[in-house]
Amino acid sequence: MLVVFRHALHMFSVYSPDTATYKWITEHLSFFLNGWVGVDLFFTISGFLISRPFIYNDQQSIKSYFIRRGLRIIPAYYFVMILCLVGFFPAYTSAIPEGEYFKTILYHMLFLQDYLPSNINIVFWSLGSEEKFYILAPILVSGIIFLSRKNNKTYYLIILLLLVMSLISRITSYYFAGMPSDYAAFFISTRSPFHCCLDPFLFGVGIAFFEKYNHQKKLDLKKSAEIVFIISLVLLMALMAQGYMLENINFYSASLQPFLISLAMAGLVWSGVMGGIPKKLSVSPIRYLSRISYSLYLIHLPLWPLTFLITLKIFGIQCDYSSILFFTSLYLMLSLGLSSLLYYFVEAPFLKLREKF
């Protein structure tokens, strides 16, 4: 939902003929513009869930592992990609350069859009990083276990060293790109590439190792987890409330800020694993959103132009709380409706098939 609100508002900078509109949004609704941090939560959860079976020495074969991963991610992803390419979404067109149509499709099929332009549907960039982590995870976890076979505490030292290496690689990319100050250049060089967003994945791996350690020691950390949940939530809210984080790109944006975001997400995931998340967050509507979240992530952005044109027809150019509220409500209804269809008719059947492996 953080990502959906982010794109709902950010796209005004692309489509709105009135530049004052986006300026009004950055001044009044910057908290929601910072919703791009939701991807880091996605990565942290993936780091935890993907590494967990290997840490617990699950007897699944590598072949079974990759089949299950493919059935989880690829069908819905390819389906939405096709919808974007055939013009299914009214007023939405992919930004594929002339003469590069088949090249663009090919590298999207191979999940290389984190290093190459993600110009069929911008949200696809994160799936490039996801797939690379899926390939790396068995090797990474096996390597950490092997190096830590004599001392379990070595797990965390290795992960800490990898986090430092991730920070260095991100800073290096930032400098090699000429220290970009605009978001577009920063995104391509320092946000999108897999090696620049390793922090949340590594935190997720560390949480999985801690969970196994906790099972062995049988510690009761529920109270501590409740405190960590509150602290992490406060840290995340503070980061998102500091103004539009990507308005002024600088060294902090490339170094400490991504680490702090990953740290806040890691705290939320750790507290969830340890039983510290309030039960009120497990009500049916939120569980349903969780279930369709992948489909929602894939399909929401191409619905923006249609929603914008309808809003423009009713409210004109004016930008105030009424027009923003109408736009956001309609955008959410369209996104939730279509993502529900995508989940039940495309994603869910392949999830059932996945259980055979």
Element (H, E) at 326: helix 321-342
Phi then psi for residue 95, to 5 deg, are -90, 55
pLDDT (tens digit, 9 = 90+) per residue, 136-187? 999 999 999 999 888 777 888 999 999 999 999 999 999 999 999 888 899 9
Q: Check residue 220 and report its DSSP letter.
A: -
Assess whether pLDDT exceeds 80 at residue 231: yes
pLDDT (tens digit, 9 = 90+) per residue, 178-214? 999 888 899 999 999 999 999 999 999 999 999 998 8
Q: Which of 71, 15, 21 is nearest to 304 (CA)?
A: 15
Q: What is the largest CA-CA distance in the chain?
A: 68
Averaged pLDDT for residues 15-22: 74
Cα-based angle 186, 232, 45 (whole degrees, multiple of 5): 65
State both tokens at 325: 């509220």
Assess whether pLDDT exceeds 90 at residue 33: yes
Assess whether pLDDT exceeds 70 at residue 17: no
Element (H, E) at 252: helix 251-254
pLDDT over 90 for what percent of the chain? 75
121 Cβ neighbours under 8 A, 6+ residues apart: 80, 81, 84, 94, 298, 301, 302
186 Cβ neighbours under 8 A, 6+ residues apart: 174, 177, 180, 246, 249, 253, 254
Q: Which sequence spans correspond to the domains of the chain?
A: 2-354
Contact 271, 226 (CB under 8 A): yes
Neighbours of 213 (CB within 10 A): 15
13: confidence class by pLDDT, cuts 50, 70, 90: confident
pLDDT (tens digit, 9 = 90+) per residue, 254-305? 999 999 999 999 999 999 999 999 888 889 999 999 999 999 999 999 999 9
- Rg of the chain in Å (alpha carbons): 21
Q: Which of 104, 95, 75 is nearest to 14 (CA)?
A: 95
Rounded Cα–Cα distance for residues 43 and 128 (Å): 12
Rounded Cα–Cα distance for residues 164 and 294 (Å): 30
Rounded Cα–Cα distance for residues 113 and 123 (Å): 10
